[in-house]
Amino acid sequence: MKKIIQTNKAPGAIGPYSQATEINGMLFISGQVPLNPETGKVIPGGIKEQTQQVMENIGAILTSAGYTFDDVVKSTCLLSDMNNFAAMNEVYGQYYSVNPPARAAYGVVQLPLGVMIEIETIAVK
């Protein structure tokens, strides 16, 4: 049975979707953008600050569902500018220093709220 995951330690959904859903030991985290969960606003700064906030939001959802970054098996990174790839990768890599998950990274035309990055995540127990 599908379980909806919701925590106030990560930004609430800005559309008709859940922060995450869990089914059969698999956690599917919706694309996270760099919103401060307390203010609901995009955090200031560049790609490094935005990536840091996205990863913190993902971490909060993982924790809420009883998972860790070690359980992540797949990430999809969406960047508004592929010139930011190296800087994003530097921050992202701090969360997956050992046995990183599979990943895809795409350059896209535009992301919600004009942010620089969005990351969706799949974790498995």
Residue 93 has pLDDT above 90, yes or no: yes
Residue 14 has pLDDT above 90, yes or no: no
Number of Cβ within a 10 Å radius of residue 107:
13
% of the chain with per-residue pLDDT over 70: 100
Residue 69 has pLDDT above 90, yes or no: yes
pLDDT confidence of residue 34: 98
Average pLDDT over every residue of 22-47: 97
Separation between Cα atoms, residue 38 and residue 28, nearest integer Å: 23
Instruction: Grade residue 70 by pLDDT with cuts at 50, 70 and 90.
Output: very high
Residue 31 has pLDDT above 90, yes or no: yes
Separation between Cα atoms, residue 121 and residue 73, nearest integer Å: 8
Q: How many domains, the chain? A: 1
Q: How far is CA 84 from the centre of its chain?
A: 16
CATH of the domain at 85: 3.30.1330.40
Please state the pTM of the whole predicted model. 0.96
Residue 2 has pLDDT above 90, yes or no: yes
The amino acid sitting at 38 is E
Separation between Cα atoms, residue 57 and residue 19, nearest integer Å: 10
pLDDT confidence of residue 13: 86
Separation between Cα atoms, residue 59 and residue 43, nearest integer Å: 17
Nearest to residue 97, comparing CAs of 36, 55, 66?
55
Separation between Cα atoms, residue 37 and residue 76, nearest integer Å: 21
- Tell me the residue range of the domain where 12 lies: 3-124
